[in-house]
């Protein structure tokens, strides 16, 4: 059994923050520091005499860095969902002289980014239409169960505004794939 790794706040905290702010997972941070994933987990918390566990400075460094990078990704997703414009420098030649002008470039909203945003941020109002899989084998359910399933589909259609099969065909496996197999 090897020696227990020594934690040094002035050394490990900034290193952990740096790795986490670049998107490294705890496992990748452990590998970079030459310790186990369990050691990283132990360094994240301090246990007080009364048994309560709180984040250590190491844990706070990881949490702060991960929160910062998550915010950047969230902001980028929001911009893609709503559309955005940027100013770009365009170089051109006029009368034999090189010139630069600013040009506005627009990126329109992306439906998939908007869906992802709404499914995650307002899941009560926006449910993924791909979240239900029904697999019914012929003869495996009673007529009463088939009626209940039909009622569930009907209610889901009304609540979501999505079109679901009106009749359940026991020979068909209903999956979350659309007509393009996606």
pLDDT number for residue 123:
78
| Rounded Cα gap, residues 76 and 114, in angstroms | 12
| Rounded Cα gap, residues 129 and 158, in angstroms | 13
pLDDT number for residue 138:
55
Domain coordinates of the chain in residue numbers? 9-69, 129-174
- Widest CA span of the chain, in angstroms? 83
Q: Which class does domain 9-69 fall in?
A: mainly alpha
pTM, rounded to two decimals: 0.55
pLDDT number for residue 181:
45
pLDDT number for residue 145:
73
Residue 175, classed as helix, strand or coil, is: coil
Mean pLDDT by 10 residues, the chain (182 residues): 83 95 94 94 93 94 94 91 92 91 92 86 73 57 74 69 50 50 45
Do 132 and 178 touch, CB atoms closer than 8 A?
A: no
pLDDT number for residue 28:
95
């Amino acid at each position: 059994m090897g020696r227990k790794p020594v934690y040094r706040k002035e050394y490990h905290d900034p290193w952990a923050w740096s790795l986490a702010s670049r998107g490294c997972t705890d496992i990748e941070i452990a590998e970079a520091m030459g310790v186990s994933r369990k050691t990283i987990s132990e360094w994240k918390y301090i246990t007080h005499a009364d048994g309560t566990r709180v984040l250590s400075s190491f844990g706070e460094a990881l949490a702060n860095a991960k929160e910062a990078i998550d915010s950047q990704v969230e902001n980028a997703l929001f911009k893609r969902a709503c559309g955005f414009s940027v100013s770009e420098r365009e170089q051109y030649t006029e009368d034999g002289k090189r010139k630069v002008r600013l040009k506005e470039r627009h990126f329109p909203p992306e439906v998939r980014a908007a869906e992802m945003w709404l499914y995650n941020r307002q899941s009560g109002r926006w449910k993924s239409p791909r979240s239900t899989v029904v697999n019914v084998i012929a003869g495996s359910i009673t007529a009463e169960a088939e009626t209940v399933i039909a009622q569930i589909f009907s209610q889901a259609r009304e609540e979501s505004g999505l079109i679901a099969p009106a009749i359940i065909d026991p020979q068909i496996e209903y999956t979350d794939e659309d007509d393009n197999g996606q």
